[in-house]
Amino acid sequence: MTMQGHALDLARDKIRGTGARMTAPRVQVLAAMLGTQRVLSHRDIEDMLGAARLDRVTLYRVLDWLVEQGLAHRIAGRDRVWRFSATGEAHETHGHFQCNRCGKILCLDELSAHSVPLRLPAGCRPERTELTVTGLCAECTV
């Protein structure tokens, strides 16, 4: 409860900082993301909200907005589902691990995408390097 209260306050601060409107959906979604270490899918967040349910489309739009504002980052897994995280700053550049069985994504904070030496075809303008290791997570290893 204290933890959740803190996440709510933090979420409100961050949203206030953008200068845009502070709305219940934005606060709730960002607080949910701040309150966990996990990388959450749209569906994960829907489930977490439970009672405070909000429209599917609104959730998609809030997530897009959080990414635009730099308050969250978006990760593409091999299951072709977007996942979102609000923790840390270096997330744009570090690698991720995705479990082939349960789909869970972990952040590999020590694995920097910047350490990869780029040599691109002529004319290509790189924007971002994504580094994803797939395999089995500790819980799914038999």
Partner DNA sequence: GTTGTATATGCAACACAGTTGCGATTCCGT
Partner DNA sequence: ACGGAATCGCAACTGTGTTGCATATACAAC
Residues that bind DNA (CB under 7 A): 20-26, 41-43, 54-58, 60-62, 64-65, 80-82
Judged by CB under 5 A, the residue of 15, 29, 33, 107 near Mn ion is 107
CB atoms within 10 A of CB 43: 12
Among its own copies, DNA, Zn ion, none, partner that 6 touches (CB below 5 to 8 angstroms by kind) = none
DSSP helix/strand/coil, 4:
helix
Closest listed residue to residue 92, CA positions, set 109, 116, 117, 77:
109
Contact residue for its own copies among 56, 78, 102, 114 (CB under 8 A): 78
What are residue 94's phi and psi, to 5 degrees?
-90, 165
Residue type, 90: A
91 binds, among its own copies, Mn ion, DNA, none (CB under 5 to 8 A by kind): Mn ion
93 binds its own copies (CB under 8 A): no
Residue 103 beta carbon to DNA: minimum distance, rounded to whole angstroms: 9
Q: Is 67 in the site for its own copies (CB under 8 A)?
A: no
Rounded Cα distance, 113 and 126, in Å = 12
When the beta carbons of 3 and 142 are compared against its own copies, the nearer one is: 142
Burial class (CB in 10 A: 0-12, 13-18, 19+), 33: buried
Amino acid 116 reads V
Give the C-alpha separation, 123 to 76, whole Å.
Answer: 25
Which of 38, 91, 93, 112 contacts Mn ion by CB under 5 A? 91
Closest CB to Mn ion belongs to which residue?
107
Indicate the residue among 35 and 95 with the shorter CB distance to its own copies.
95
